[in-house]
Amino acid sequence: MSCNTIGLGLVGFGTVGSGVWETLQRNGALISNRAKGTIQPEVKKIAVRDLKKQRDTKAPAELFTTDWQAVVSDPSVDIVVELIGGTTTAYDIVAAALKAKKPVVTGNKALLAERGESLFALSKEMDTPIHFEASIAGAIPIVKAIQDSYVGNEINSMVGIINGTSNYILERMFDAGLGYDEALQEAKDLGYAEADPTLDVNGWDAAHKAILLATLAYGFTIDPKKVYVRGIERVRRTDIDFATKLGYIMKLLCIVRSNADGSIELRTQPSFIPKQHILSNVNGVFNAVALHADAAGDALFYGRGAGQGPTASAVVADIIETCYATQESAGNRGFLPYKDSGEVVDINETETPYYVRFQVTDRPGVIAEIAQILADAGIGISGTNSPIDPNNPDAEFVQLVFLLHTCPFGQLRETLAKIEALECVTERPTVFRIENI
Amino acid sequence: MSCNTIGLGLVGFGTVGSGVWETLQRNGALISNRAKGTIQPEVKKIAVRDLKKQRDTKAPAELFTTDWQAVVSDPSVDIVVELIGGTTTAYDIVAAALKAKKPVVTGNKALLAERGESLFALSKEMDTPIHFEASIAGAIPIVKAIQDSYVGNEINSMVGIINGTSNYILERMFDAGLGYDEALQEAKDLGYAEADPTLDVNGWDAAHKAILLATLAYGFTIDPKKVYVRGIERVRRTDIDFATKLGYIMKLLCIVRSNADGSIELRTQPSFIPKQHILSNVNGVFNAVALHADAAGDALFYGRGAGQGPTASAVVADIIETCYATQESAGNRGFLPYKDSGEVVDINETETPYYVRFQVTDRPGVIAEIAQILADAGIGISGTNSPIDPNNPDAEFVQLVFLLHTCPFGQLRETLAKIEALECVTERPTVFRIENI
């Protein structure tokens, strides 16, 4: 199959737009390899509000325009990538692209949750797709999971932590004892909350995503006015303290669930969940969606829900999927290796810390002998443990544990062979790696 | 776009094969809706070893044959689904299908890890795909994540818990104090370990999956002989006890990592990980893959790695993706609503337990008054908490917390309005739902 250049028109070149540009530059060769050389996405035009604005990301000046319509109508633009946010101009851009039969990639949750009904109708009428992976939970591929990976499943329920700002604020109220205002200020200072965090803390950012999740899973658009939404803005320290005392954590949860009669439950609100639940470990600005599906059972997707790289990752995935669909023939969409060979590092060269256990005769000098061999090999000891069994203080053998600092496995193997040769060591040493993942 | 019937040929009708059949029957209408009515997968032939075997899943007798070649060569079969396992006959089946230019869907990790080089070469030569989502981590869509969702990312590392049998055995050794043999026997009794669990406990089932993960992420096939593999079969109670004492959990981990020079690290072994790491919460027969990618950052995928439903879920996803690719035109591959409307349950009808906090005047009888109103409404109390502030024992107001049993939100609202009207209640009651997710 020959290689097709596919023209991209970006509308918006802020954090996400420039992230998309950088990702395509940095990993262009890799993307081309994975696509078996069949596609070559190329940014042809970029619409921005202000041409004179200083930007860290450099793209050729001739790509820029202040006129989004020039991007949509440019004959070299095959795919329109809407990244300006909002529900007015963004609506016009998406509608214009669809009418021109140009597929749309967007990360605009508010647009699709508020005005999805008419945009999806237009998408259907024009037989032209809207892709929106980036609009829910950033880099977490939850849209593709529901649409493609769980295509054979009835989705019974989804529980999402899908607003990183709220999650950060609640975590700090729990873990650092902060009040709501302090935690919000800290989130702003660290760039985790925007200057105007209204849509985050009033729950609507999460609710827009939950509406889209429900639409994806259950197939109908939902009037946001019918959806129950409560944000974290009135969460008080008193309730955090009671939650802690009672064994709960508070999370801003989106709950989407289908009932036996086909109706669905859909709500967004700060909720108490048991401290031991896996979702209670979703901290900081991370997002997660736990779902239950009739064939697949329980699953959880966890990752970064916002930020330049994660959002760009999702936008690029949608761009590439859209590129595939522009091909005349689907070709081989399975995996194919794209390198003839590569190097797998010899296990002896791989390094981690280790746990090593020796069974030794209980006599004076044993620890010193072993420690000396480790010292001679230059392997550091970070801890030892050699308990006396209280039920058997006179046991013939003792278990002696060393935690060792990072060294190559080959070096450890050679050293352990010397230790094993000691007369006091009565069986082959046991080794496990400690993974600081 | 018109609807295309796509013929499936199943080779193998055991646990997974019959699960695929049942999923296609049960959710056929849903699949068709999600595919916008453009495709209609239909099982045309099924190869089995023994026609007379009693099967719980009933498929029409005329579909069955004992001759896999009759399935592959049947003109009504467009896609061959290989579900017999093993690396010999399965190889012949996959090769024959590719030579006939029929796309293959398989869940056979051993086949692709051991003989992937020649099968992928054939896939390339014949321009015919092999799809294998079900071969790694069951229902977790990790293949699609790497290939499609993270197509724009360099994958820096993947850490997988991808053998449920081993994970179950290790968990029981940790939590129930069982020895290895006891835990293995329990896993067999519960159906979590096969009668011959060799490939699970010696690490090779996990290693095959790790090899495929590395091939997917880094683009070259890997000789299994060059891969370091150690299973759980020699894990001893002593080491479990030491791990617990030292603050670690032991998991059978697959580690795949790229180095700056392009070489990769690839190993499978029981490893110590810190007890507070998110992977230490992956229990029972569940699988998880934690990955780090350059744009997306950290992510975790968690779900069922084996079993009829989860594996069938992945096979069906591959079948549908392959069906799309058989279409003459890609059409609209974005999401489209497929129902005009649906019912969102009124928030007043949704039910959970609740946490309710009242600020009240500190005088005798307050708790009785509130409890009586709850009792009159038929709302049960599962707990109360009304601490005296030791720093301020004579405070004018007291915070009074009730944990309430499940009831409709509307009923709670009405009841709280009555309580709020009490003279002793000094501010609006605070309510949070307790989600028993």
Q: Are residues A271 and A382 in the same domain?
A: no
- Residue B276 shares a structural domain with residue B359: no
Q: How far A435 CA lies from chain B's nearest CA (Å)?
A: 5
- A-chain CB neighbours of B27 within 8 Å are 152-154, 294-295
The answer to whether B297 contacts A326, with C-beta atoms less than 8 Å apart, is no
How many residues comprise chain B?
Answer: 437
| Chain B positions in Cβ-Cβ contact with residue A403 (cut-off 8 Å) | 246
Q: Which range in A1-5, A147-151, A391-395 is most confidently predicted, on average pLDDT?
A: A147-151
From A386-390, A393-397, B122-126, the region with the lowest mean pLDDT: A386-390
**B291 or A329: whose pLDDT is higher?**
B291
The mean per-residue pLDDT over the stretch B15-34 comes to 97
Taking alpha carbons only, the member of B63, B116, B68 closest to residue B89 is: B68
Task: Give residue-wise pLDDT tens across range B55-91.
Answer: 999 999 999 999 999 999 999 999 999 999 999 999 9
Of B45, B102, B109, B209, which one is the catalytic site residue?
A: B209
The pLDDT, as a whole number, for residue A331 is: 80
- Is A101 in the active site? no
pLDDT reported for residue B391: 67
Across A45-63, average pLDDT = 94
Region B198-212: mean pLDDT is 97
Helix (H/G/I), strand (E/B), else coil: A282: coil
Same-domain check for residues B367 and B387 = yes
Is A128 a residue whose pLDDT tops 60? Answer: yes
Is residue B279 domain-shared with residue B361, that is, in the same domain?
A: no
Task: Give me the pLDDT at residue B327, please.
Answer: 82
Each residue's pLDDT tens digit, B291-346 = 999 999 999 999 999 999 999 999 999 999 999 988 877 789 999 999 999 999 99
- With respect to residue B412, please indicate whether it lies within any of the assigned structural domains: yes
The closest alpha carbon to B411, from B343, B352, B345, belongs to B352
Burial (CB < 10 A; 0-12, 13-18, 19+), residue B35, is buried
Between CA A194 and CA A203 the distance in angstroms is 14
A158, A81: one domain? no
Q: Give the position of tokens 């599962």.
A: B382
* Res B149: pLDDT: 98
Rounded Cα gap, residues A65 and A10, in angstroms: 10
User: B277 to chain A nearest CA, in Å?
Assistant: 8
Flag whether A335 is in a domain: no
The share of chain A scoring above pLDDT 70, in percent, equals 98
Quick check: helix, strand or coil at residue A299? strand
User: Cβ contact (<8 Å) for A432 and B238?
Assistant: no
Q: Is residue B277 part of a domain?
A: yes
What secondary structure letter does DSSP report for B343? P
Residues 6+ apart with CB under 8 A from B17: B10, B46, B81, B83
State the average pLDDT over residues B41-68. Answer: 95
Q: At what angle do helices B204-218 and B109-126 cross, to 10 degrees?
A: 30
Check which CATH number belongs to the domain holding B126 and give it. 3.40.50.720
Question: Quick one: CA dihedral B85, B88, B91, B92, positive or negative?
Answer: negative
User: B37 and B182 share a domain?
Assistant: no
B149, B227, B345: residue with CB nearest A263: B345
Average pLDDT, chain A: 95
Q: pLDDT (tens digit, 9 = 90+) per residue, A222-233? A: 999 999 999 999
Residue B147: list chain A partners with CB under 8 A.
34, 335
Q: Give the distance from CA B208 to its chain's centroid.
A: 19
pLDDT in tens, A146-181: 999 999 999 999 999 999 999 999 999 999 999 999
pLDDT at position A362 over 90: no
Mean per-residue pLDDT for B192-214? 96
- Mean pLDDT, chain B, rounded, equals 95
pLDDT at B363: 86
The domain that holds A292 is classified in CATH as 3.30.360.10
Domain containing residue B242:
149-303
Same domain assignment for residues B128 and B22: yes
A317 and A267 in one domain? no
Q: What's the pLDDT band for A1 if we cut at 50, 70, 90?
A: very low
pLDDT band for B4, please (50, 70, 90 cuts). confident
Q: Is B170 exposed, middle or buried (0-12, 13-18, 19+ CB in 10 A)?
A: buried
A167 and A43 in one domain? no
Is residue A342 a part of any domain in this protein? no
Q: Which residues pair with B41 in a beta bridge?
A: B6
Q: What one-character DSSP code corresponds to residue A343? A: P
Facing B296 at nearest CB: one of A300, A303, A336: A303
pLDDT bin (cut points 50, 70, 90) of residue B353 is: very high
Both A20 and A116 in one domain: the answer is yes
Q: Do the beta carbons of residue B163 and residue B206 sit within 8 Å?
A: yes
- At B224-249, the pLDDT tens digits run 999 999 999 999 999 999 999 999 99
CATH number of the domain at A395, please. Answer: 3.30.70.260
Model confidence band, residue B370 (pLDDT cutoffs 50, 70, 90):
very high
Residue A304 and residue A165: Cα distance in Å, rounded?
A: 12
A267 closest CB neighbour out of B239, B245, B347:
B347
SS3 assignment, position A280: helix
CA–CA separation, A98 and B365 (whole Å): 66
- Confidence label for B397 from pLDDT (cuts 50, 70 and 90): confident
Average confidence (pLDDT) over B268-277:
94
Q: Is residue A172 part of a domain?
A: yes
ipTM of the complex: 0.95
What's the count of helices (H) and strands (E) in chain B, helices before strands? 14, 16
Query: Which residues in chain B are contacts of A117 at CB distance < 8 A?
Result: 337
Min Cα separation B340/chain A (Å)? 6
Count of domains forming chain B: 3
pTM: 0.95
> Is residue B127 domain-resident?
yes
| Same domain, residue pair A97 and A171 | no
Please compute the mean of the pLDDT values over residues A19-25 and round it to a whole number.
98
One domain, residues A232 and A366 = no
Q: Does residue B393 surpass a pLDDT of 70?
A: no
Residue indicated by tokens 């008419």: A118
Q: Is the pLDDT of residue A386 over 90?
A: no
Judge whether A56 lies within some domain: yes
Q: Return all residues near B297 (Cβ < 8 A) that are at least 6 apart.
A: A139, A303, A304, A307, A309, A310
Q: Distance between CA B336 and CA B343 in Å, rounded?
A: 18
In a domain, B198, yes or no: yes
Which residues have CB under 8 Å from B313's CB, separation 6+? A149, A150, A152, A153, A293, A295, A296, B23, B138, B139
